[in-house]
Amino acid sequence: MSNYSDIMDYAKEQTPVCERNDAISRRLFHEYGVNVGLRDENGKGILTGLTNISEVNSFTEKDGQRIPCDGELWYRGYRVETIINSLGPNEMGFEKAAYLLLMGEMPDDETLAEFKQVLSDARSLPKNFTRDVIMKGSSGDIMNSMMRSILTLASYDDHPLDTSVTNSLNQCIRLIAEFPLLATYSYAAYNHYTLGDSLYIHNPDPELSTAENVLRCLRWDKKFTPLEAKVLDTALILHMEHGGGNNSTFTDHVVTSAGSDTYSTITAAMASLKGPKHGGANIKVMEMMDDIRAHVEDPTDKDQIKDYLEKILDKEAFDHKGLIYGIGHAVYTISDPREVIFKQYVVDLAKDKGRDKDLQMYQNVEDLAPQLMNEKRNLLKPVSPNVDFYSGFVYDMLGIPQEMYTAMFAVARIVGWSAHRIEGLVTSDKIIRPAYMSVMRKKEWTDQ
């Protein structure tokens, strides 16, 4: 028996030891030319791969100089705005965008109809999976529940470890179709077993799209309006894909390159996505806005918001991490094109739902944060609101519970991860293995 009744007490005592032995000065990174976070001294990402799937732009060249510009996002040669604007007022586009990203070409009507049917056929879980897996050990961490389900789905697959392109594509298509069920049923279990509400599990409707089935399965009465479905469908298209370097897609590439199977690869990407600096930011933005409401007398007042944002940046308020969530991006500078699209919906929805005061609070944060960050941080480029600044507000107005926000992101990004996994399998079988320079001091045994 150790002297510790609680391992936490031991961990607390050892923390300064780890901090002493693990700290590496930023000066050494500079001295050895090692790029922190795989970004160079101008904040530009180090090239680690080539992709045909999408392109993200945030700078333009003028007179040989890199100038920040409005953000652009392209899926397989098409601007994301063009894809969204090409859809009819009530047309759902998830399936079309998913086919485009996954297969690399725009589907014609017949091809799209067939793909929709394939997804619809695949949108079911193995017999008793919901009862035997999803209902057990439920939690408000829907991403964790989904990861558990994804790994367990491997046990129901006759060829879980077959990493051929064909088998991986089959597994990816199935997961794309199953994700809405994994997410909404995980929430149903949590809603019942933890929150104490009635339990309901609705079967998906084979005639409905991905976005419509999410709303149908999430709501006890299965009802939703065409506008709600359209807004969610747009949100899903906007979250589907973001190049090979974003943290979760890069994780997908790393794990794929090790020869790992689809279930493990997608679970690893999920683990990355849930981080609050990545896809988990959508929940954090909502928590931050709740915190602002609780501490600022009049959130529509710019001066009061400014004082509180300064406290957040100084680590004196909210989660004491010093981050204003929903602001800043590893690539974008002047704007994130997805936020610009989201905002159009936000303004209309907020008016419709009588949430003008909340909208004013968001706009105050949007207006003030970049300038305050500029004053308090070593910014290498302009900052602006990112895709998740408004997404939580939109989901809130759609009545989607906060615990589901990052899971909604995953329902979309599984498409990008799948496309990158297939691209990785088709293009290269080289394991990804960057180097870490050792700054360890070698010791003689007698130095102890």
Ligand X SMILES: CC(=O)SCCNC(=O)CCNC(=O)[C@H](O)C(C)(C)COP(=O)(O)OP(=O)(O)OC[C@H]1O[C@@H](n2cnc3c(N)ncnc32)[C@H](O)[C@@H]1OP(=O)(O)O
Ligand Y SMILES: O=C([O-])CC(=O)C(=O)O
Residue 39 CB, nearest approach to ligand Y (Å): 11
What is the number of the residue whose Cβ is closest to ligand Y? 246
Closer to ligand Y by CB, 204 or 280: give it. 280
User: How many helices (H) and strands (E) in the chain?
Assistant: 18, 3
| Contact of residue 331 among ligand X, ligand Y, none (CB under 5-8 Å per partner type) | ligand Y
Closer to ligand Y by CB, 243 or 299: give it. 243
Q: Which DSSP helix (H) or strand (E) runs through 151?
A: helix 142-153
Closest by CA position to 342, among listed 392, 268, 279, 416: 392
- Annotated active-site residue 388? The verdict is yes
Task: Give the C-alpha separation, 270 to 348, whole Å.
Answer: 32
Closer to ligand X by CB, 231 or 330: give it. 330
Paired sense of beta strands 54-62 and 78-79, if any: unpaired
Candidates 99-107, 142-150, 250-258, 386-394; binding stretch for ligand X (CB under 6 A): 386-394
Task: Give the C-alpha separation, 289 to 278, whole Å.
Answer: 18
Closer to ligand Y by CB, 211 or 387: give it. 387
Total site size for ligand X, rule CB under 6 A: 24
Task: Give the C-alpha separation, 143 to 215, whole Å.
Answer: 18
User: Binding of ligand X at residue 378 (CB under 6 A)?
Assistant: yes
Residue 392 CB, nearest approach to ligand Y (Å): 15
Q: Which residues contact residue 417 at a Cβ distance below 8 angstroms, ignoring those fewer than 6 apart? A: 248, 249, 252, 265, 266, 269
What the block records as the tokens of 345 is 């919906």
Q: Which DSSP helix (H) or strand (E) runs through 73?
A: strand 65-75
Residue 223 CB, nearest approach to ligand Y (Å): 31
Dihedral class, residue 445 (left if φ above 0, else alpha if ψ from -120 to 50, else beta): alpha
Q: Any bridge partners for residue 59, and if so which?
A: 68
Closer to ligand Y by CB, 138 or 246: give it. 246
Query: Binding string, 168-207, against ligand X, x = CB under 6 A?
Result: ----------------------------------------
Instruction: Say which DSSP state 198 is in.
Output: P
Residue 309 CB, nearest approach to ligand X (Å): 9
| Contact of residue 322 among ligand X, ligand Y, none (CB under 5-8 Å per partner type) | ligand X
What the block records as the tokens of 287 is 């928590």
Closer to ligand X by CB, 136 or 321: give it. 321
Candidates 186-194, 261-269, 302-310, 382-390; binding stretch for ligand X (CB under 6 A): 382-390
How many other C-beta atoms lie within 10 A of the C-beta of residue 135? Answer: 18
Closest by CA position to 397, among listed 207, 224, 191: 224
Residue 397 CB, nearest approach to ligand X (Å): 20
Instruction: Say which DSSP state 208 is in.
Output: S
What the block records as the tokens of 219 is 């709501």
User: DSSP characters for 307-359?
Assistant: HHHHHHHTTSSTTSS---TTB--SS-SSB-HHHHHHHHHHHHHHHHTT-HHHH
Residue 304 CB, nearest approach to ligand X (Å): 19
Question: Under the rule (CB under 6 A), what is the footprint of ligand Y?
Answer: 242-243, 246, 330-331, 387
Tell me which of 80, 176, 292, 324 binds ligand X, using CB under 6 A.
324
User: Binding of ligand X at residue 340 (CB under 6 A)?
Assistant: no
Q: Which of 278, 329, 358, 396 is catalytic?
A: 329
**Interface of this chain with ligand X, residues 259 to 318, rule: CB under 6 A:** 277-279, 281, 313
Residue 301 CB, nearest approach to ligand Y (Å): 31
Q: Which DSSP helix (H) or strand (E) runs through 58?
A: strand 54-62
Closer to ligand Y by CB, 73 or 317: give it. 73
- Annotated active-site residue 70? The verdict is no
User: Binding of ligand X at residue 377 (CB under 6 A)?
Assistant: yes
Burial readout 328-337 (b: 16 or more C-beta within 10 A, e: otherwise): bbbbbbbbbb
Candidates 75-83, 141-149, 289-297, 384-392; binding stretch for ligand X (CB under 6 A): 384-392
Q: Which of 336, 388, 396, 420 is catalytic?
A: 388
| Contact of residue 373 among ligand Y, ligand X, none (CB under 5-8 Å per partner type) | ligand X
Residue 243 CB, nearest approach to ligand Y (Å): 6
Binding site for ligand X (CB under 6 A): 43, 277-279, 281, 313, 322-330, 373, 377-381, 386-388
**Catalytic residue set:** 329, 388
